[in-house]
Structure formats: structure tokens, C-alpha cells
Structure 1
Amino acid sequence: MGTIKLKNIRTYSYHGCLIEEGKIGSDYKVDLEVKTNLKPSAETDDLHDTVDYVLLNKIVVTEMAVRSHLLEHVAKRIIDRVLKESKTVTKVKVAVSKINPPIGGDVEMVTIEMKESR
């Protein structure tokens, strides 16, 4: 078993419950971690024997571009697509952070984290 991590994927997206958030948008960061068997690719040196992190990044960027009211909803869509499109992944953990959230205080970011296993 092994782990592939994509850290600090940055997007500009339009998530949130406020109408203004859908119009103005905000900066986000996403951390993605997947568990998979890395032994085959370590032996063969072949991309087909591992989880392509280019695909993982594409999934995150694509799902972050779809407006949602809640970060939990975005995270769930990312998890579902990773499990659907990468059959060898056994566990997915994703953290979605909204940077400088409009919550009436001096808060650097708010983060939700979700994980799911097969």
C-alpha cells in the first residue's frame, strides 16, 4: 500500500451560500490524499500501473469549477469521482479550504475535511 498526496491545489471558485460569493468568488486551496497499491508501478516504472496525479488534479480543478453552496458538497463530488475514475484507489481524503472567508472576523481560512474508503 502507498499514498499519493497533492498539496495546496489552488483555485479561484464561486462557492458559498451568499449571492455575492457566487458573483465575486474567492481563493481556495485543496489537499488530496489517496491510498493505493504502489508496488506494481515501483516494479514496472509504468504510469498505467499507478494512479495518475495529473488525473487527480484535473478532477479537483473540474469539480471546484462547479458552484456549490457548501464545501462539503464539493468535497463529496471530488471523492466520488476519484473512486469512480481510479479503480485501484482504496481510500480518499480531501480537505477544501476557503481563504479569507466572509464570516465577519479575521479568519485566514476555513477548512472542511472528508474521507471515504471502498
Structure 2
Amino acid sequence: MTDLIKVQRIAVYAFHGVMEEEAKLGQKFFISLTVEADLSKAGTTDNLDYTINYAKLTELAIHIATQQRFQLVEALAEAIATQVLDAFPLAHSIGVEIEKPSAPIQATFDTVSVTIFRKRTGS
């Protein structure tokens, strides 16, 4: 059984990037999370204790993105994935997408993004 909790395009203003200007000026990022978990007990009991609270999931992602600085969005995604799996034992796996719509690229584009997928070890 595969059940998913998704939180899509959480907007944060942060200072990630390799370039010095990115560290000084910052920019907007979007974070999307897809968590795989067995939600059947939550569905049958209507009890928050048997699911992953998406408000807390969102708060954790925002905290990591705004309180730490990374040169690479890959490292930001990895930090979020690791901490989500540590904080939410019900989570079997997580997908983290980081969008960087103002990446310093000399081209016209909508966004650049990195998506990673991680599974809980030993499950």
C-alpha cells in the first residue's frame, strides 16, 4: 500500500547558492515534499496520532531552509529529507523538490529544480 502526503511549493526566502551575491541578497525558493507512509489507521480512526501532521512537516522544512545556509540546493534537499525521516517515524520515504526560479543563469526560464528521493534505512 502506498499512501502519500504532499505539501507543494512552500515558498521561502533564503540565502542558498554558490555565488557571493546569493549569500548577500537571497532569493525565493519553493520546496515540495512527498512523504510515503501507511495512512490506513489514520483513515479508519480519524486520529491525528496515526498520520504525519503536514503543518509540522511544513514547519520543519521552513526552519531548515531559513536557518541554515547551503551552497547547493542538493544539500538543502538532503538536509530536509534526513530530518523528516528522523522526525517522523511513520514516514517510509520522502521526495524533496527544491525550485530556484531566480537561479543566476543567463537565459530565459521558468525555474530550475532538484528532486531527491530517500528511503528509511532498515525498512
| TM-score in terms of structure 1 length | 0.96
State whether residues 101 and 107 of structure 1, in contact with CA within 8 Å, keep that contact through their aligned partners in structure 2. no
What is the aligned partner in structure 1 of residue 8 from structure 2?
7
Q: Distance between the aligned counterparts of 1:76 and 1:82, measured in 2? A: 10
Give 1:14 shift. Answer: 0.6
Name segments (4+ residues, structure 1) moved above 4 Å. none
Amino acid at match of 1:85: A
Give 1:67 shift. Answer: 1.1
Q: Distance between the aligned counterparts of 1:63 and 1:96, measured in 2? A: 12
Deviates more, 1:82-91 or 1:102-111: 102-111
Give 1:43 shift. Answer: 1.2
Amino acid at match of 2:87: E
2:37 is equivalent to residue 59 of structure 1: no
CA displacement 1:69-117 (0-9 Å, x = unmatched): 0000000000001100000100100100111211122122110000011
Amino acid at match of 1:11: V
After superposition, the CA RMSD in angstroms is: 0.8
What is the aligned partner in structure 1 of residue 106 from structure 2?
104
Q: Distance between the aligned counterparts of 2:102 and 2:118, measured in 1? A: 27
Q: Distance between the aligned counterparts of 2:112 and 2:69, measured in 1? A: 17
Q: Distance between the aligned counterparts of 1:108 and 1:77, measured in 2? A: 25
Correspondences of 1:1-118 after superposition (within 5 Å): 1-65=2-66, 66-118=68-120
- Please state whether the residue corresponding to 1:103 is helix, strand or coil: coil
Q: Distance between the aligned counterparts of 1:60 and 1:99, measured in 2? A: 18
| Structure 2: unaligned runs, 5 residues or longer | none
Identity %: 27
- Please state whether the residue corresponding to 1:43 is helix, strand or coil: helix
| Structure 1: unaligned runs, 5 residues or longer | none
State whether residues 15 and 25 of structure 1, in contact with CA within 8 Å, keep that contact through their aligned partners in structure 2. yes
Aligned length: 118
| TM-score in terms of structure 2 length | 0.92
